[in-house]
Amino acid sequence: MTAGANLEIVSPGAYASIQDAGRRGFRRIGVPWAGVIDPRLMRIANALVGNAADAPVIECFDGGLQLAARGATLRVAVAGDARLELEHAGERSAVPAWRSVSLADGDILRIRRMDGGRIAMVAVQGMALSQVMGSASTYARAALGGVDGGALRAGMHLPAPPARAGAELALPRPPDASQAPVRVVPGPQADHFAQAALDTFFGSDYRVTAEADRMGVRLEGPALEHLGTREIISDATVPGSIQVPGNGQPIVLLADAQTAGGYPKIATVICSDIPRLAACRPGQTIRFAAVGAADGERIARATEAETRALIAGIVRVPAAGIDEAALYSANLVSGVVHALSPDYRTLGAANE
């Protein structure tokens, strides 16, 4: 299993799994899409190492991931507001996210912590994984995808070819973290709630609880009272469905959620805002804002245009003449190392 160049999972951190754009066409037999929670991060990470946009990536929550190059120099890139550390020949130095990094044989890359959000994506240049039902995405409940159907564990090896020649790439302007309300389309079962409950839903803060993973995010806030029955005849859920079970506390369903459910769904988070909601940490509060279905489609197109513009802005990093390790170590000491730091932007912009 370890023959040939590979990336070793030294530690998966809080939770890490292989994901790609997801598994389509099988919801009718109860198989959710799975796939990355934040497609934009996947596309940026893959673009930074020259992979196809929807090549499988390592999606990790809450930092702690540690990766080691084995058998060759490998090229990786981390998308996400992550604080990274590179260990080379026993020396540790900070490296920024949002750019590619070449790991020499034996180097270890760590996500020390997330500076914002919960999710980071690691693309590995040329990493090839077999597909199950059309996707490499891990869906642990049915043991589909990934390395062995489950989450990544320490000691696993992901086959990857030696890094190709060429400059490192960087994203000079990482996406901004919006604080705006999470946009939802009311329905499909908004009529199972009185107007007062809808007013409460759109007028109150909801707190993200500790029960938040790839299946869904359980929220806590003013209870939403049903009109009449608290169950429906099971119908389809979608990623973003907001179920309200009998206790009135909403649950937002995500990529790994079951494909059908018997709780009324008050609203659906639009695709553009699902990543932002999933990135909220336990204890954070959010608000919801209503948009129409047609507005949602328009926002989806605008989001796609933004993603393309971001990726089109990727630049080559100067190959030599700058002691990057020293630069970032200095920043680490002064506590300002950050993907959005002016130093980082200057570095990227200087190469254009």
Partner 1 sequence: MSMRILDAGDAAFTVEFGDAIDPALLARVNALDTGIARLQAGGGLPGLIETMPTFRSLTVFFDPLQTGREALLVELAPFLADTAASAGDLGRHWRLPVCYEGELAPDLGQTAAALGIATDDVVALHAGRDYVVYMLGFLPGFPFMGDVPEALRLPRRAEPRLRVPAGSVAVANGLTAIYPWESPGGWHLLGRCPVPLFDAACPSPSLLAAGDSVRFEPVSMTEYRRLLDAATAGELDPQQWLATAAANDGGGAQ
Q: Which residues bind partner 1 (CB under 8 A)?
A: 24-31, 132-133, 141-144, 184-189, 233-236, 238, 240-241, 258-261, 265, 268-272, 293-297, 299-301, 304
Which C-beta is closer to partner 1: that of 134 or that of 175? 134
At closest approach, how far in Å is the CB of 182 from partner 1?
A: 12
Which C-beta is closer to partner 1: that of 4 or that of 187? 187
| 232 φ/ψ sector (left φ>0, alpha ψ -120 to 50, else beta) | beta
Q: What are phi and psi of 35, to 5 degrees?
A: 85, 170
Which C-beta is closer to partner 1: that of 11 or that of 189? 189
At closest approach, how far in Å is the CB of 30 from partner 1?
A: 4
Interior CA angle at 159 toward 26 and 85, to 5°?
Answer: 105
Whether cis (ω within 30° of 0) applies to the bond prior to 188 is yes
Q: Which residues does residue 100 pair with via DSSP β-bridges, in sequence order?
A: 77
How deeply is 281 buried, as exposed, middle or buried, from its count of CB atoms within 10 A (0-12, 13-18, 19+)? Answer: middle
How deeply is 305 buried, as exposed, middle or buried, from its count of CB atoms within 10 A (0-12, 13-18, 19+)? Answer: exposed
| Gyration radius of the chain over CA positions | 21
Residue 301 one-letter amino acid: R
Which C-beta is closer to partner 1: that of 3 or that of 29? 29
At closest approach, how far in Å is the CB of 69 from partner 1?
A: 31
Which C-beta is closer to partner 1: that of 90 or that of 228? 228
Alpha-carbon gap, residue 36 to 66, rounded angstroms:
19
Which C-beta is closer to partner 1: that of 133 or that of 340? 133
Furthest C-alpha separation in the chain: 70
At closest approach, how far in Å is the CB of 291 from partner 1?
A: 8
Find, among 14, 11, 107, 96, the residue nearest to 63 by Cα. Answer: 14
Which C-beta is closer to partner 1: that of 143 or that of 177? 143
Alpha-carbon gap, residue 119 to 140, rounded angstroms:
18
Alpha-carbon gap, residue 18 to 146, rounded angstroms:
5
The tokens for 56 are: 């499988």
Place of tokens 């320490």: 154
Which C-beta is closer to partner 1: that of 122 or that of 255? 255
